[in-house]
Chain A
Amino acid sequence: MKFFGITLLLLIPLVVLSLGMDILLGFDLDNSIKHVFNPFLVKDPAEFILFFILLSFLVFSFFYRKKKKKNKGKGQQ
């Protein structure tokens, strides 16, 4: 879960940063929010599939731990 927390902690400020940049460029908040989420609304099916595959890898990486250590521990016992 630590990795999940770190990922969110990195992602959220970067999204806010992107919003801030749009506001600096003169867009209002509504438009800048649209700009942030627009790339995800106009995806092709192929892009969506790739996105979900990568996302599932990410979720998997949060919970995955090397099992070798456990085996070694058991062996020693």
Chain B
Amino acid sequence: MEKANISGYQLFVLIFLFEMGSALLVPLAGEAKQAAWLVILIAMVGGFLLFFIYYGLFQYYPDQLLTEFVRSILGNFLGRIVAFLYILYFIYLAARVLRDFGDTLLTFAYPHIPLFVANAAFILVVVYTVRKGVEVLTRTGELFFVLENLLLMTFFLLIVASGMIHLNNLKPVIEMSGTEMVKMAFTKTIFFPFGEIISFLMIFPYLNEPKRLKKIGISSIAAAGIFLAIIMAMNIAVLGVDLTTRSQYPLLSLIQSIEVAGFLERLDVYFLFLLMIGGFIKISVFTYVAVTGTANVFNVKQPSRLAYPVGFVILLSSIIIASNFTEHMHEGLGAVPIYFHLPFQVIIPLLLLIIAFFKNRKKKKGQHQNKFQGGVDQK
């Protein structure tokens, strides 16, 4: 664990940008059609529940990283294996996000550049940031947060000014039944992007005001969830359900359709900025977490030296992961939530919390008894 301190605001910014990262790109909860924004809000509530699980773990071990307290809870051998699996999970997620962004860049902006080159350029920047440590990452996040908010604000203004919002596209709002919405929110949308916050269990110990963590976590998840819901509602209100669900990148279609006063158009660069900011922060967080975790599990004294090897592994995995974009998306929507997200985001943390609860209860009881006996002896 490096010697670093991050403030509450910096953590808020980092979580917000992380959540917005790749969720802005895809039609999030698109299957829910007009109710997509409601499903996102329900999933956000689920995200709160997941955050409380992680927060519970953090409260038991406030000074330890995820890879450390797993060993405290499960013992050295089993704990090391679970910690290693978590590292693989974070690297796999980083590779998936990198592939997402590489493919998006190729389809939308650079059709003649090979995927490997685009991904390599991206990961080299990430490796450089990760080498510099978590403080640099959060400060970069602070800068980007301002830029992203300015972009989003002007984007909303332009959309409203161009008069493209047709609220009738959002009707009927509750076409799906409530149970269907909850089912969709808790089986898909909750894992991506809200559950991915588990990676922050490796960053929470750096927070200089741990008592405020609950407020910071909830407010950042709420802010990201509300923004995502508004953007999805806007996508549907402007493009309609059919185009939004069929489009690979509905936000891009939305931005391309902006036309104000006959001259303010072709604002694709907005999309590119949002893409770069979100992607950079998300991949950097996953890579940083993987590097710190690897250094912790393998007792490496200089974690920064691991940044390049881990970055290279992420780069190779992003290429190997799928032979084409369709396969990549198919895996991401079908297999990953069940076989990866569910165990690593819900089942293992829940088990860890239960074990930590019983372990610490015993300890507390022991301490209480010792105090009592000590008191008797003194008398």
Residues of chain A at the chain B interface (Cβ within 8 Å): 2-3, 6-7, 10-11, 13-15, 17-18, 21, 24-25, 35-36, 38-40, 43-44, 46-47, 50-51, 54-55, 57-58, 61-62
Contacts and interface: CB of A to CB of B under 8 A. Distances in A.
Contact of A35 (B116, B308, B310, B323): B323
Contact of A10 (B116, B305, B313): B313
Contact of A54 (B120, B298, B322): B120
A10 B310 contact: yes
5 contacts: A7-B312, A14-B316, A25-B335, A35-B322, A62-B309
A55 B308 CA distance: 10
B114 interface: yes
B371 interface: no
B168 to A, nearest CB: 40
Interface stretch (B84-92, B169-177, B214-222): B84-92
Nearest to B116: A47
Contact of A38 (B116, B308, B323, B335): B323
A38 B313 CA distance: 17
B88 A13 contact: yes
A47 B118 CA distance: 10
Interface of B: 87-88, 91-92, 95, 114-117, 120, 294, 298, 300, 305-306, 308-310, 312-313, 315-317, 319-323, 327, 330-331, 334-335, 339
A14 B309 contact: no
Contacts of B114: 43-44, 46-47
B107 to A, nearest CB: 17
A10 B315 contact: no
Main SS of the interface on chain B? helix
B335 A21 contact: yes
Given A3-B305, A11-B316, A50-B116, A21 B88 contact: no
A-B interface, 7 closest residue pairs, ranked by CB to CB distance from nearest: A7-B309, A39-B319, A14-B317, A35-B323, A47-B116, A47-B114, A10-B313
Contacts of A2: 298, 300
A37 B60 CA distance: 44
A39 B312 contact: no
Given A25-B331, A38-B323, A39-B116, A10 B88 contact: yes
Contact of B91 (A3, A14, A58, A62): A14
B330 A11 contact: no
A72 to B, nearest CB: 16
Looking at B95, B115, B308, B310, which has the most chain A CB atoms within 10 Å of its CB?
Answer: B308
Nearest to A40: B319
A36 B244 CA distance: 32
B320 A39 contact: yes
Contact of A46 (B117, B319, B331): B117
B115 to A, nearest CB: 8
Given A17-B92, A18-B320, A54-B120, 11 more contacts: A3-B309, A6-B298, A7-B310, A10-B88, A10-B91, A14-B317, A18-B321, A25-B334, A25-B335, A61-B309, A62-B309
Looking at A14, A21, A55, which has the most chain B CB atoms within 10 Å of its CB?
Answer: A21
A25 B339 CA distance: 13
Contacts of A58: 308-309, 312
Contact of B320 (A15, A24, A46, A51): A15
